Amino acid sequence: MSPPATATLNAAQLRAVHHTRGPCLVLAGAGSGKTRVIVHKIAHLLRGGVEAPQIAAITFTNKAAAEMRERARAMVGGRAAQALVLCTFHALGVRILREHGEALGLKPRFSILDSDDVLAVLRDAGGTTDAAQARRWQWTISRWKNQGLTADGAEQAAAAADERVAARVMRRYEERLAAYQATDFDDLIGLPLKLLRMHDDVRQLWQQRLAHVLIDEVQDTNAVQYELLKALVGDATTGARGANPFTAVGDDDQSIYGWRGATIDNLKRLPQDYPALEVVMLEQNYRSTGAILRAANHVIAANPKLFAKKLWSELGEGEPVKRIECDNEEHEAERAVAWIQARRAGTPGDAPARWRDFALLYRANHQAKVFEQALRRAQMPYQVSGGQSFFDRAEIKDLCAWLRLLVNNDDDPAFLRAVTAPKRGIGHQSLAALGEFAAKWKVSLFEALFVESLGGALPRKAVDALREYGRFVNDLEYRARHTTGTEAARTLLTGWLADIGYEQHLHEGEDRARLAEARWANVLEFVDWVARRCGGEAGADGVAREATSVLQVAQTISLMHSIAERGDDADVVTLSTLHAAKGLEWPHVMLAGVNEGLLPFASEAEPVTAQRLEEERRLMYVGVTRAQRTLALSTLKRRKRGRDTVAAQPSRFIAEMKLDEARAKVDPRERLKQLRAELLAKTARPAEAEP
Ligand code: ATP
Ligand code: MG
């Protein structure tokens, strides 16, 4: 799928690539080569003498970063590709904070809390055991942070009573994060921004360092990310040296993270904030056949237009978009398997497809399970992206908690998880007493272990067990810091697991041996993955590649969402949510569960408002435009809803695609006309091409 190094660009793409002295926005529909412009522009900048570490390309996911690095490698070679700053906003934020976070009181070895940790801290900060309440706070606080609000700002802005409570919880939550030397994901954007704004020297340093910033999927940036971009490139109007050149590419029709605070206002603000902005439109789609593109254009036409776009393809009409009607989810999974099998066999005159040519896309994570089962039964290799990731599994979270604790001893949530995985004769009562003691002395739980007077607060036996644990962690930390290279890391990690009896622990916690074994297999995979990273294997996110000691690898772990992000290019079928499929492409795509209630998604808590419908439609557009050669839309006659099975209607988006009209277009008479036109074009072309 990666383009050859000599691949061409059209005139508009070239214009975007050659515009290196000022700000540039490429605004264009799906598959028009926006991401390709970024890769080629990187190569162009390198040829023009810009050093690789001075070029920052920001992608939306770690996976996209890995893919872009691969594409860049093919064009500019391994060494330059490796030296590029190529990562997500979050990973860039980690870099900035690790280097300069001390100015904000953050140690270089701060922790990054994942969503579960955040929930635990929030429950504690808000004094509740109600998980749903904590989750609501999490969303509210995240929304505030993405709007750039601090706890102070939130308190002022809060109108309703529950918002005022949330704002108070936010304050306590922030205090706790500071005490734990920890950040949440939103902080990875917000804190670097604060840092760059407050410290002129740091800002100037980064502006000098990054000669050209390129950013993909700009339509899905939130307000804080946009401000961070501005801080990185400089302000066009007030900056002393003016702004650095930058290149943003995006498509307002593919903005699908509004629910997470992304805003297309950024697209509208760019030309205002940067009056010299060169706007380039691309209109040729190089990805999809005519039939697929027409369905996509039709469906998105139902949305109000922010920027009108035309999109055409030269790839020919291709196969009609296929409808697959299924009785229920199980039937759908069987049909999916059959659909793949048929293609694998190949049609006459067509080479058999590889596994990796297929993607099954769906709206919600839970839809993956039935497909996984069917694919496993049929012995088809697959990977799930965007769903419950490897790092969400309990056993992996245990190990990550250990590693986080090594990186940052003050990370209390990590301490609490690690000290009980496995349990080492340290009960909840001891831990609660330790917590009180630590709070009284204003130290972290880990630090509290070594405070002299702890002996007075806890029974002797508990103190001994805790201190023994503390010494073990310290020793492990020392070794992790000094262990580099794959084999040494593997030895260290397996030795550690043996020392703590983790395999045994899994068997004790699981009734069925088979499940414990599966968990242990995950653990071994994790060990292998960490060990290989310690060997300097190319990281997927642009941060880890400099990490070589076990401890350094450990610090970046919270940022990894999937073990699939190792950068493997395995020949497997992809199962993915629509959200996680953004920017990617496959020859054969099946969209599953294209039903009302699923796509557009609706629930009692989330009815289909006009605004939500537009975002769901953009999601549909994203899904359809992932397909290169064939597209299948599958619908259910009956679907599961909670514990019930209910009758299901095809999604309104199917009607909007006007598939029948498309079919009518290729009726015999039309077809003849088309053939004649094609023939004419063919005979005319050589003459035109002659000098
Ligand atoms: P999306 O909106 O889905 O992110 P995009 O605009 O980023 O799409 P790309 O992924 O860059 O599009 O390109 C889509 C496909 O078209 C890729 O396979 C790419 O290699 C190919 N392509 C883009 N431009 C050209 C070109 N000028 N010549 C040949 N192939 C091209
Ligand atoms: Mg793209």
Q: pLDDT tens digits for 363-407? A: 998 898 899 889 888 888 888 876 555 667 788 889 989 998 998
Q: Which residues line ligand 1 (CB under 6 A)?
A: 3, 7-10, 13, 30-36, 251, 254, 286-287, 583, 585, 625
For position 347, what pLDDT does the model report? 67
Taking the C-alpha atoms of residue 508 and residue 351, their distance in angstroms, rounded to an integer, is: 51
Range with lowest mean pLDDT among 287-296, 343-352, 363-372, 570-579: 343-352
Q: What is the pLDDT of residue 345?
A: 80
Residue 295 pLDDT > 90, yes or no? yes
Containing 525, the helix (H) or strand (E) segment is helix 513-534
Mean pLDDT comparison of 396-410, 433-447, 582-596, 650-664, highest-scoring range: 582-596
Report, as an integer, the average pLDDT of 490-510: 91
**Closest approach atom of ligand 1 to CA 625:** 3
Q: Which atom of ligand 1 is nearest to the CA of 626?
A: 3
- Ligand minimally distant from the alpha carbon of residue 30: 1
Check if 6-96+190-282 and 391-564 are the same fold. no
Confidence at residue 279, expressed as pLDDT on a 0 to 100 scale: 94
Supply the pLDDT for residue 550. Answer: 87
Residues 41-58 have a mean pLDDT of: 95
* pLDDT tens column, 589-614: 999 999 999 999 998 888 888 889 99
Task: Name the residue with higher pLDDT: 652 or 119.
Answer: 652
Phi-psi region of 148 (alpha: psi -120 to 50; beta: other; left: phi over 0): left
Distance (Å) of CA 296 to CA 29, 252, 302, 602, 635? 10, 14, 11, 22, 18
User: Strand locations in 81-204, DSSP E?
Assistant: 85-88, 111-112, 182-183
391-564 sits in which CATH class?
A: mainly alpha
| ∠ CA 217-222-225, rounded to 5° | 85
Mean pLDDT in residue range 20-40: 95
pLDDT of residue 662: 55
Mean pLDDT of 160-181: 88
How many whole angstroms from 311 Cα to the centroid of ligand 2? 15
pLDDT at 563: 44
* Percent of the chain topping pLDDT 70: 89
Six-digit token string for 48: 């023009």
The domain 6-96+190-282: what is its CATH number? 3.40.50.300
Are 641 and 327 in contact by the 8 Å Cβ rule? The answer is: no
The alpha carbon of 249 and the centre of ligand 2 are apart by a number of angstroms equal to 8
Q: Write down the pLDDT at residue 6.
A: 41
Is the pLDDT assigned to residue 209 strictly greater than 60?
A: yes
* Cis bond upstream, residue 600 (ω within 30): yes
Q: Residue 477: which of 561, 418, 544 has the closest Cα?
A: 418
pTM: 0.79
Q: What is the pLDDT of residue 219?
A: 93
Of all residues in the chain, what percent carry a pLDDT higher than 90?
Answer: 52
Give the model confidence (pLDDT) of 134-143 as tens digits.
899 999 999 8
Q: Is the pLDDT of residue 86 over 90?
A: yes
Q: Under CATH, what is the fold of the domain 291-381+571-689?
A: Rossmann fold (3.40.50)
Task: Label residue 473 by pLDDT band (50, 70, 90).
Answer: very high
CA dihedral defined by 12, 17, 21, 24, rounded to 10 degrees?
A: 60
d(CA 261, CA 224): 9
Q: What is the pLDDT of residue 291?
A: 94
**Mean of the per-residue pLDDT values of the chain:** 86
pLDDT higher at 394 or 615: 615
Active site residue 440: no
User: Relative to the CA of 13, which ligand 1 atom is closest?
Assistant: 27
pLDDT value for 683: 54
Q: 111-180: which CATH topology? A: Arc Repressor Mutant, subunit A (1.10.10)
Map out the domains of the chain as residue ranges: 6-96+190-282, 111-180, 291-381+571-689, 391-564
Ligand 1, atom 15, lies closest to the CA of 287
Confidence class for position 674, pLDDT limits 50, 70, 90: low
- What is the end-to-end Cα distance of the chain in Å, rounded? 33
Nearest ligand atom owner, CA of 1: 1
The whole-number pLDDT of residue 4 equals 42
**558 — pLDDT class (breaks 50, 70, 90):** low
Ligand 1 centroid – CA 3 distance (Å): 9
Q: Give the number of the atom of ligand 1 that is nearest the alpha carbon of residue 32.
A: 6
- How far apart CA 529 and CA 675 sit, in angstroms, is 54
Task: Look up 673 and say whether it is catalytic.
Answer: no
Q: Name which residue sits closest to atom 31 of ligand 1, judged by CA.
A: 286
| Omega before residue 304 within 30° of 0, cis | no
Instruction: Please name the residue ranges forming H helices in 261-349.
Output: 265-273, 290-301, 329-345
pLDDT at 669: 63
- Ligand 1 centre and the CA of 314: distance in Å? 13
- 217 CA to middle of ligand 2, Å? 7
* DSSP class of 401: H
